[in-house]
């Protein structure tokens, strides 16, 4: 199956990639799902909401500061680097990620569509200004904008809509691609998981890279089992 998948990828001019938490977990980033996602006995669903932020912004920011410090201590793995290398040899390439950690950027990927936002971006709740801050830990909690307004993480919380412009580009990439790689995603979080059937309906070959079967495995043209850090470099070799 690997040689056939590699041939599809080699022949494709337009390639899109969808990555999820499994990619980041291989670098040591805790996932939302599972006991490693807990922080001080709080579930992410209790903290990553507008309501939680309105109720206790300091608590929410303590959690995000912990997450930022955790992410700052890890590095991209071979799978991240392989995708960055693939982008350089494909004339039309888009990397759609559900991850907010910036590891794709650190690996050298350029056309990254962050449908769930970026943990390194801050947004003022008063003037709406956005800026990048890579301090880990943050100098003060909760952080504030130059205007004095309270800043929030530049991520999409439970109950919020995805950024409209980024999502439109992600849908366009899924519809236009000849091959869609789906790496390290559980394929249970919508609307991102809906990009797989969208690409299939548009005629793309879908290649899944995951340690285990997922809800979209049955519709994929190839399902390659194993860690993304091992399978992606093997798949992209000689492309």
Residue from 77, 80, 104, 116 carrying the catalytic annotation: 116
Sequence-separated contacts (24+) of 87-90 with Cβ below 8 Å:
87/111, 89/239, 90/12, 90/13, 90/14, 90/15
77 belongs to the catalytic site: no
What's the CA gap between 105 and 114, in Å, rounded?
Answer: 11
Euclidean distance between the first and final Cα of the chain, in Å?
Answer: 16
The strand pair at 117-124 and 130-132 is best described as antiparallel
- Is 95 within 8 Å of 87 (Cβ atoms)? yes
What's the CA gap between 54 and 30, in Å, rounded?
Answer: 25
Burial label for 100, CB within 10 Å (0-12, 13-18, 19+), is buried
> What's the chain's length in residues?
239
Q: Locate tokens 């890890």: which residue?
A: 74
**CB neighbours (10 Å) of residue 114?**
25
SS3 238: coil
Active site residues: 116
């Amino acid at each position: 199956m690997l040689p056939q998948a590699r041939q599809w990828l080699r022949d494709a001019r337009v390639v899109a990639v969808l990555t999820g938490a499994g990619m980041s977990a291989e670098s040591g980033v805790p996932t939302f799902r599972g006991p490693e996602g807990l922080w001080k006995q709080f579930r992410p669903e209790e903290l990553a909401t507008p309501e939680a932020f309105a109720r206790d912004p300091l608590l929410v920011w303590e959690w995000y500061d912990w997450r930022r410090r955790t992410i700052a201590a890890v590095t991209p793995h071979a799978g991240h680097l392989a995708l960055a290398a693939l982008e350089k040899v494909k004339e039309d390439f888009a990397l759609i990620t559900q991850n907010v950690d910036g590891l794709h950027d650190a690996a050298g990927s350029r056309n990254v569509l962050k449908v769930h936002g970026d943990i390194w971006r801050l947004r003022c709740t008063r003037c709406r200004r956005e800026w990048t801050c890579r301090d880990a830990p943050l100098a003060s909690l909760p952080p504030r904008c130059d205007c004095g307004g309270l800043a929030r993480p530049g991520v999409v919380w439970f109950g919020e809509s995805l950024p409209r412009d980024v999502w439109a580009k992600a849908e366009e990439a899924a519809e236009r691609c000849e091959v869609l790689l789906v790496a390290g995603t559980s394929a249970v979080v919508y609307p991102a998981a809906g990009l797989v059937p969208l690409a299939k309906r548009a005629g793309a070959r879908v290649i899944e890279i995951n340690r285990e079967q997922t809800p979209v495995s049955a519709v994929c043209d190839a399902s390659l089992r194993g860690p993304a850090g091992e399978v992606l470099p093997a798949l992209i070799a000689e492309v």
